[in-house]
C-alpha cells in the first residue's frame, strides 16, 4: 500500500513504518487475513442516535477541526454509525451516565477504510502541518507512523469502536478532561498523572518529557475515570494511549474492515 511519495522518506522511517504495519496494538492491528465487506454492506450497522437518542454528535472528521484540517474521505454526513451490538451496549452506558448527570458526546464511531487511507496520505506528506499547533505541537510529523499515531488499519473500521467524552447536563458544557480529543502525546494516555486501574490520582507527569510541567488536575483525571468505568461496566475495553477511545470486547466483526461511507442508515 506504499506509494511513490514514501520513497523519499529516510530509511529508518520506512523500517519503522513497516513495523507499524505489523504492530499488534489495539487500534491499528493489521492482520494477515483481512476481509473487506462490500461498499454498501451496512446491514449489521445502525445510526447511533437511533439507539442512543441522548447522545450528542460532534463528528470531527466531517468538519475541518481535526488533525488533518479538512473533511475526511468517506464522511458524507455528520452522523455516527456502529454495529448493532456496540450501539446496544452504548445505550446501557448512556443510561448509566444519565443517572450521574452526564450525556455522551461522540467524536467518531465507524470509520470507513477510505478515511483511514486519507490519514495515511496526510501522514506521508510531512510538509502539511496546518493543524500542528492544535494537535501535535510537541512532535515532528515524521514520527507519527513509527509511534503508531497513524496506521494502515483502524479498529474503527470494524464498526465497534468509538471516540467520545462526557457532557455535563447541569453546566451544559463538555466535561473538562484535561486535554483535547486527538491530542498526539502522552497527556492523552489514561495513566497520565494517575493509575486508571485503581482510579488513584498521582500527579506524576514524567511521561511528558517535552513539557515536564504539563499535568492534569485531580478533577480532570477523575472525569476520565467516570467515562472509563462506565464504558467498562457495559462491555467496552479501553485503549492505553487515548482516554476517549473504546472498543466493544465481543465485537462482532474482529477481522472485517468495512468500506461503506458514513451517512444516515435508512430504516
Q: Is 76 helix (H, G, I), strand (E, B) or coil?
A: coil
Instruction: Round to whole Å and give the CA distance between 67 and 183.
Output: 8
156 in a known ligand binding site: yes
163 in a known ligand binding site: yes
Exposed, middle or buried: residue 32 (CB in 10 Å: 0-12, 13-18, 19+)? exposed
219 is catalytic: no
Q: Which residue among 58, 124, 187, 242 is the active-site one?
A: 242
Q: Quick one: DSSP state of residue 75?
A: B
55, 105 contact by CB (below 8 A): yes
36, 253 contact by CB (below 8 A): no
Closest CA to 77 of 119, 116, 117, 47: 47
Within the chain, strands assigned E span 45-47, 56-57, 81-83, 102-108, 161-168, 173-174, 194-195, 200-201, 236-239, 242-248
First-to-last alpha carbon distance for the chain, in angstroms, is 36
245 in a known ligand binding site: yes
Catalytic annotation, residues: 242
Q: Give binding residues for Zn(2+) as ranges.
A: 156, 163, 245
Binding residue numbers:
156, 163, 245
Amino acid at each position: 500500500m506504499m506509494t511513490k511519495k514514501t520513497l523519499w522518506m529516510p530509511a529508518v522511517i520506512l523500517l519503522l513504518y513497516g513495523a507499524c504495519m505489523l504492530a499488534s496494538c489495539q487500534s491499528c492491528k493489521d492482520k494477515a487475513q483481512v476481509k473487506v465487506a462490500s461498499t454498501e454492506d451496512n446491514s449489521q450497522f445502525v445510526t447511533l442516535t437511533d439507539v442512543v437518542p441522548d447522545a450528542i454528535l460532534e463528528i470531527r472528521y466531517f468538519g475541518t477541526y481535526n488533525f488533518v484540517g479538512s473533511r475526511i474521505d468517506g464522511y458524507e454526513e455528520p452522523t455516527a454509525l456502529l454495529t448493532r451490538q456496540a450501539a446496544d451496549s452504548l445505550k446501557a452506558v448512556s443510561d448509566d451516565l444519565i443517572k450521574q448527570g452526564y450525556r455522551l458526546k461522540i467524536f467518531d464511531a465507524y470509520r470507513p477504510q477510505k478515511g483511514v487511507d486519507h490519514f495515511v496520505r496526510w501522514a506521508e506528506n510531512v510538509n502539511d502541518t496546518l493543524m500542528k499547533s492544535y494537535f501535535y505541537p510537541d512532535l515532528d510529523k515524521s514520527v507519527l507512523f513509527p509511534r503508531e499515531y497513524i496506521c494502515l488499519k483502524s479498529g474503527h473500521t470494524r464498526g465497534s469502536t468509538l471516540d467520545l467524552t462526557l457532557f455535563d447536563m447541569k453546566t451544559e458544557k463538555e466535561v473538562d478532561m484535561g486535554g483535547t480529543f486527538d491530542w498526539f502525546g502522552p497527556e492523552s494516555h489514561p495513566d497520565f498523572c494517575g493509575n486508571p486501574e485503581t482510579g488513584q490520582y498521582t500527579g506524576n507527569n514524567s511521561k511528558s518529557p517535552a513539557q515536564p510541567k504539563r499535568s492534569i488536575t485531580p478533577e480532570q483525571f477523575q472525569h476520565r475515570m467516570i467515562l472509563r468505568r462506565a464504558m467498562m461496566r457495559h462491555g467496552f475495553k479501553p485503549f492505553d494511549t487515548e482516554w476517549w477511545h473504546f472498543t466493544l470486547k465481543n465485537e462482532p466483526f474482529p477481522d472485517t474492515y468495512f468500506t461503506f461511507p458514513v451517512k444516515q442508515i435508512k430504516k
